[in-house]
Every structure is written in C-alpha cells, then in structure tokens.
Amino acid sequence: MATTNQTSSIPVPIFKGESYDFWSVKMKTFFRSQDLWDIIEEGFTIPEDTSTLTAAQKKELKENKQKDSRALFVLQQAVDDTIFPRLIGATSAKQAWNTIQEEFQGSDEVRNIKLHSLRREFELLRMKESETIKDYYSRIKEIV
C-alpha cells in the first residue's frame, strides 16, 4: 500500500524552550496523525546481518528507516534554532525525542523535586498587603 507524505502541508508547532508539556502533546498528536509515533516511542533496530532477512522483512526495514527519517526531519523542523544544536548528534527520531524530553521535562527524580518545590511554593502563597488581587492571581497562575 502506498503512503503519501502529507507532513509538509500541516504546520508543525515550534518548540522554543518553554511550555514543553504543551508542545509535546501537540507533537504526539501530529506524529500519530502521520503514523510516525510508533517509531518515536519504540524505535527500531537494524540487524547486523541483513542478508538473512526475507523480502518482507527487508521491505519492513526500509519502511521503518523512511518513517524514522521523516520523524527525525519533523523533529528537527519543530525546534527553534537555539534548541537544534542539541539534536545534531541524534541518529534516530527516538534519540532526538528522548534528548528533548530529558532536558526539558527531566527525569522522574527531577520532576518529583520540581513538584515538591511547587507544592511548597503553593503552600506558602499568601497575598501581600501591598499586592492587588490581579497581581496575586497572576502569581497563583504562574505557580499552577
């Protein structure tokens, strides 16, 4: 079955280093719409000896390589020039995605530390006497 490449007609959200969570949700949806998310999430392995592969396996390997290249290209286009240097060494879409995810979402330990810090900030949040309700509300929204 032939597939068409429609990625060029759909605008891709650009990640500039802020609001990673929003960007990643949008990108996951984009990749799912292009049937590329499985390559990013699971990756694929290239066998050391491809001479033993059947014709069907060779075809599947070729399709996976193409999907991976498309997904990597989209990821490279979906980051700002200030973020792009971090992806230069990535040889697969999965590797590029994980690089961005680790840096901007952090590991489980980093996320837990951030969560505890935010929880503490929220617990200590009190309106200052000189503060307007609007300013106080803005501070609350920033924490949340």
Listed by start position, the domains of the chain span 11-106, 107-144
State the pLDDT at residue 110. 67
Predicted TM-score (pTM) of this structure: 0.70
State the pLDDT at residue 137. 86
If you ran DSSP here, which 8-state letter would residue 12 be given?
Answer: P
Q: Which residues are paired to 51 by β-bridges?
A: none
If you ran DSSP here, which 8-state letter would residue 8 be given?
Answer: G
Characterise 7 by phi-psi region: left (phi > 0), alpha (psi -120 to 50), beta (else).
alpha
Tens-digit pLDDT string for the chain (144 aa): 444 445 557 889 999 998 898 999 999 999 999 999 999 999 998 888 888 899 999 999 999 999 999 999 999 999 999 999 999 999 999 999 999 998 888 666 766 777 778 788 877 788 888 889 898 888 888 776
State the pLDDT at residue 50. 87
State the pLDDT at residue 136. 85
Angle at 43 between CA 42 and CA 48, to 5 degrees: 130
